[in-house]
């Protein structure tokens, strides 16, 4: 087996794919693609992924990108059981819903805040963007009402994906004091395999954003 993840630790989606691999427990070789050095635009990487994004997975010649598609593939192919990505139709549908919610809402709103600060010279977080993310967190708070993990009583790849996103914005200093269920889940996530590795990448992401913010 030769499994390789093209990865950049500062990237939330990239950490999401890696957290899933760690939870599954599958050995994976990491190859860093430094986005700050524009390594994703090198000819060799463009041949692998013309969309030039991390994470990108290579499994014995099979190439896949999109972090959540990678997590689903790894869980289906290498999962010891179906706990992380249930086979039961409705349970799986719920995990998928949370994954899409992360992809289309949480991650998108975090990116809307952080990308202009990292790359476009923005120096503050506009109130409408703050409100937008907090409205999404209202929903996450609701999902976690009476539920230990985001899609039920078991940790799934929805948790690894969403935690990778949430940990990025927490490292920027986001206030989640009005979301007690999210706070409790964030503490729970310290038990995720690969948690420390994720924290280090999230910390670097947070520092990169904070250094461009007006004090």
Ligand X SMILES: N[C@@H](CCC(=O)N[C@@H](CS)C(=O)NCC(=O)O)C(=O)O
Smallest gap from Cβ 29 to ligand X, in A, equals 18
Smallest gap from Cβ 177 to ligand X, in A, equals 27
List the structure tokens of 57.
């997975």
CB 102 within 8 A of CB 165: yes
Segment near ligand X (CB under 6 A); pick from 23-31, 46-54, 91-99, 144-152: 46-54
Is 52 a binder of ligand X (CB under 6 A)? Answer: yes
Q: Residue from 20, 23, 54, 172 that binds ligand X (CB under 6 A)?
A: 54
Q: Which is nearer to ligand X, 38 or 87 (CB)?
A: 38
11 is catalytic: yes
Q: Which is nearer to ligand X, 53 or 150 (CB)?
A: 53
CB 49 within 8 A of CB 63: yes
Segment near ligand X (CB under 6 A); pick from 64-72, 80-88, 139-147, 192-200: 64-72
Is 208 a binder of ligand X (CB under 6 A)? Answer: no
Is 13 a binder of ligand X (CB under 6 A)? Answer: yes
Please, what's the b/e burial string for 66-93 (b: 16 or more CB within 10 A of its CB; e: otherwise)?
Answer: bbbebbbbbbeebbeeeebbbeeeebbe
Is 35 a binder of ligand X (CB under 6 A)? Answer: yes
Is 132 a binder of ligand X (CB under 6 A)? Answer: no
Pairing of β 29-32 and β 3-7: parallel
Longest dimension (CA), the chain: 50
CB 16 within 8 A of CB 164: yes
Total site size for ligand X, rule CB under 6 A: 13
Burial of 194 (0-12, 13-18, 19+ CB in 10 A): middle
Cis bond before residue 213 (omega within 30° of 0): no
Is 130 a binder of ligand X (CB under 6 A)? Answer: no
Q: Which is nearer to ligand X, 155 or 164 (CB)?
A: 164
The count of residues in the chain is 215
Smallest gap from Cβ 66 to ligand X, in A, equals 5
Q: What residues are annotated to the active site?
A: 11
Binding footprint of ligand X on the chain (CB under 6 A): 11-13, 35, 40, 52-55, 66-68, 103
């Amino acid at each position: 087996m030769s499994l390789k993840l093209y990865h950049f630790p500062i990237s939330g989606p990239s950490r999401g794919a890696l957290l899933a691999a760690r939870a599954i427990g599958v050995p994976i070789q990491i190859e860093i693609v430094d986005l700050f050095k524009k390594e994703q635009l090198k000819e060799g990487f463009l041949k692998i992924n013309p969309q030039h994004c991390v994470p990108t997975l290579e499994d014995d010649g099979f190439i896949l990108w999109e972090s959540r598609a990678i997590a689903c593939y790894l869980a289906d192919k290498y999962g010891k059981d179906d706990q992380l990505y249930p086979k039961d139709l409705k349970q799986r549908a719920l995990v998928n819903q949370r994954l899409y919610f992360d992809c289309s809402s949480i991650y998108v709103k975090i990116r809307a805040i952080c990308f202009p600060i990292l790359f476009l010279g923005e120096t503050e977080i506009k109130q409408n963007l703050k409100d937008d993310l907090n409205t999404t967190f209202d929903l996450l708070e609701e999902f976690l009402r009476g539920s230990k993990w985001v899609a039920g009583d078991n940790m799934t790849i929805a948790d690894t994906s969403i935690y990778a996103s949430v940990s990025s914005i927490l490292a920027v200093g986001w206030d989640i004091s009005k979301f007690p269920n999210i706070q409790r889940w964030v503490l729970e996530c310290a038990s995720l395999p690969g948690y420390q590795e994720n924290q280090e990448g999230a910390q670097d992401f947070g520092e990169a954003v904070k250094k461009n913010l007006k004090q």
